Amino acid sequence: MDIKCPKCHSDNTDTARFCSNCATPLPSSKDIPVTETIETPTEELTRGTTFAGRYEIIEELGKGGMGKVCRVEDKKLNEEVAMKLIKPEIASDKKTLERFSNELKLARKIVHRNVARMFDLNEEKGTHYITMEYVRGEDLKRLIRKIGQLSAGQVIPIAKQVCEGLAEAHRLGVVHRDLKPQNIMIDEDGNARIMDFGIARSIKGKGITGAGVMVGTPEYMSPEQAEAKEVDHRSDIYSLGVILYEMLTGQLPFGGETPLAIAMKHKGEIPKNPQELNPQIPNELAQLILKCLEKEKEKRYQSAGELRSELEEIEQGLPTTERAMPQSKPLTSKEITFKFSLRKTYIPGLIAAGLIVIAVFIWQIYLKKPAQVSQAIHSIAVLPFEDLSAAKDQEHLADGLAETLINTLSSIKELHVPARTSSFFFKGKEQDIREIGQKLGVESLLEGSIQVAGNRLRLTVQLINVADGFHLWSEKYDKTVGDVFVIQDDIAQSVVKALKIKLLGEREKVLFKDYTESREAYDLYLRGRFFWSKRGKTDIEKAVDYFQKAIEKDPGYARAYSGLADSYAVLASNQFIPPDESYPKAKAAALKALELDDRLAEAHASLATILHLYDHALVEAEREFKKAIEINPGYSTAHHWYALLLANLGRHDDSIEEIYRAQEIDPLSPRVNAEIGVILFFAREYKLALEELQKSVELFPEDIANYRYFSWVFGQLGKYDDAISSLLRAYELGGESSALDTDLALIYALSGNRNEAQKRLKDIIENSKLNYVSPFEIGRIYASLREKEQSFIWLEKGLLEKDARLIFINVMPDFNPLHSDPRFTELLKKMGLEK
């Protein structure tokens, strides 16, 4: 979870100890007390409003040390620009404003393709603001967080462009003084753009910045900055050295508890050779970085041009395939220009050789696919899309688009696609793509973002090779919202082509099936799935409402009926409402979905679990599960639910195989990981069950199900204290009390503490008069107390009420005391568990 700076309100990683923008200690710092600065907005700027009679607000881009930054449309010039609103407490200092004004005059002189233009400093009704060029893209810090260690082939082209931008600024007498990855944008064409020369100052000028003031970000500042001494262009070279270090190692050369501690390390501590952190760094490049980080500026590179020349020479020694930079846009859309000169053009042989070299260069850099993807990639994770809409009200659409692509791609037998739960595990988290790829077991990642404004939809997607961070494919769609179905199919087709997966027949024509022509119905369906995924009672009830509204808009919408079936099934299985109220509605909805489309894997799986748990039609249930898996072998839920059916049929080896297959598809699903332990528990593999539950707890320490299932296993092993401790932990985490109460009474019954068990059982039965309690669970407690008559009374009651849990009677070891009774065999026959 990101940590918000209490002073400038910018976001920082959860490992940061101080703000990367303004160097304020974050809440975790114990050394310096944090004082929150109160920002008083002079005007509420929302999307569509016009500021200063000229700038129409499009969206807020973020907040930094100086203030809020917005993307706006300059109505006077009819173009988009960035506008930085300076905080009142900063703008109230006349000397500060004078400094900004003087420095801006200098920064405006810089006109270069690798520098974002600075425009004006103005005032509107007491609010001071700076306008600057708006650069579409991603900042270098975010790229480093995603990829971790970049290769030399990726780093050098970026560094060369930064050098070119700095060289122009330094030529004009301007030093950046706050160069850091957050201030370097990688634009949509893959070019590096240096941002924010707002605190730059003239090398020649004096007195613009107050003497003795330390300016910059501690992680990236030069030793002379740390001592608040005079700086020149060589300070920027030092900062670029820190950036190169971080790009290649994924780490900063110096860390510390406070900004001052880090600044002092820059002043006096020798950095570790970056090769120690990443042995893949060429020795020449490591030495270049260390030269940039020399404490004495006379020992560093003396100009950005000199540094660039050195980078150029090192680049020539790299393998050719490493020199290709990842592209953020399709190469066919990029304008490519090459400039070269041949001194002896009158010699035909040299001309021919030169042309061959150029041709090879073009082919290697722009046309040849990266070596890592010369063969087909067979695994991909679709990460949740980011909602960039100004109102942040399109999360359901962002999630829905990603989920639809997961469902579409998972139906391809040649492709391994982690399920929604696992892919969405990383939602809102900044992680190295290699770490994500490792956790999900995939070779590639698809990520994207959406923006909705009125009826317009902007969707940006990119396919990334996990091994090296290269973009295999990317695209931007500017369409109407109604074109969303066409976009989804185009993305799926493009991904398949980029991964070199060969499809045959009809699958090659259309991957994404358009289930409705109603945009409103589709939006309502996505909202339903959004709430369904949360699984709480109130959330599921909202999901039911949205699915029903979607059906009203389009009575032929098969997926909406499937969603309705899933919602009613969850309401029953979680004991939110009695099963005889919910399962019939779930079954009707599933049958209607299949009537409209019998190739809907989700509906077959939903019908199968209803036939299993409610109708006890086990043969028919298995047929439906197999049909769902045949249609979509990558549908984890079908494998998961099928494993439970196989366990009840006594086919434990098959059951264990299916639950592990579900985990393979959905490795970060809390439910699947926990229920591996349950499946092993049913198979009486108690030791293995404990091992799997321990793994699940390590992944999901606050998942209540793990502790419930621990208590079941400990109870059968006679470790009653451990079982009770597990349940107490579940109570602490806010577990549903009625379920935990029955589990706790069961443990007391198994341990021989009859008085405590009967006392709790009495309370449970009283509660069942007001709220639904599974008769199966009460029968289970009586069976553990060896009170057979009472146990059979409650089990028969469960049979009449169609208690979904009753189907597990033959695999629950708590019912062992009943096995020798003929009534137990008769009960099994009634449920189709014995012939």
Q: Measuring CA to CA, which residue among 295, 293, 231, 263 is closest to residue 23?
A: 263
Distance CA 122, CA 124 (A): 7
The neighbour count for residue 608, using CB atoms within 10 Å, is: 26
CA distance 547 to 525: 6
Q: Is 34 helix (H, G, I), strand (E, B) or coil?
A: coil
Element (H, E) at 262: helix 259-268
* Interatomic CA distance for residues 593 and 568, integer angstroms: 14
- Reported in sequence order, the residue ranges of 125-208 that DSSP labels E, i.e. its strands, are 127-133, 137-139, 174-175, 184-187, 192-194, 201-202
Give residues with Cβ within 8 angstroms of 432, minimum separation 6: 145, 146, 147, 148, 250
How do 192-194 and 184-187 pair as beta strands? antiparallel
How far apart CA 243 and CA 241 sit, in angstroms, is 5
Token duo for residue 570:
């969850």
The string of DSSP codes covering 206-257 is -SSSPTT---S-GGG--HHHHTT----HHHHHHHHHHHHHHHHHSS-S---S
Distance CA 273, CA 277 (A): 8
Tell me the three state secondary structure of residue 623: helix
Quote the longest CA-to-CA distance of the chain.
Answer: 107
What percent of the residues of the chain are helix, what percent strand, and what percent coil, each to the nearest 5?
A: 55, 10, 35
- SS3 call for 392: coil
Q: Report the alpha-carbon distance of residue 309 to residue 324 in Å, rounded.
A: 19
Pair 704, 737: CB distance under 8 Å: no
Strands 386-387 and 444-453: parallel
Residue type for position 184: I
Q: What is the rounded distance in angstroms from the CA atom of residue 244 to the CA atom of residue 181?
A: 10
Burial category of 745 from C-beta neighbours within 10 Å (exposed 0-12, middle 13-18, buried 19 and up): buried
Residue type, 370: P
- The dihedral through the CA atoms of 194, 197, 202, 207 has a sign that is negative
- Match 């050394």 to its residue by tokens: 31
Beta strands in 108-209 (DSSP E): 118-124, 127-133, 137-139, 174-175, 184-187, 192-194, 201-202
Structure tokens at 353: 């050789």
Give Cα 357 distance to the centre of its chain. Answer: 42
Determine the Cα–Cα distance for residues 305 and 293; give it in Å rounded to an integer.
Answer: 17
Contacts of residue 681, Cβ cutoff 8 Å, sequence gap at least 6: 689, 709, 712, 713, 716
Catalytic residue among 14, 93, 120, 178: 178
Residue type, 171: R
335, two tokens = 């304008």
Beta bridge partners of residue 74, listed in sequence order: 55, 79
Q: Which two tokens stand for residue 70?
A: 């917005």
Catalytic residue list contains 178: yes
Q: What is the end-to-end Cα distance of the chain in Å, rounded?
A: 55
Q: Rounded to the nearest 10 degrees, how much is the dihedral formed by the CA atoms of 641, 401, 507, 416?
A: -50
- The DSSP-derived string for 682-747 is HTT-HHHHHHHHHHHHHH-TT-HHHHHHHHHHHHHHT-HHHHHHHHHHHHHTT--HHHHHHHHHHH
Active site residues: 178
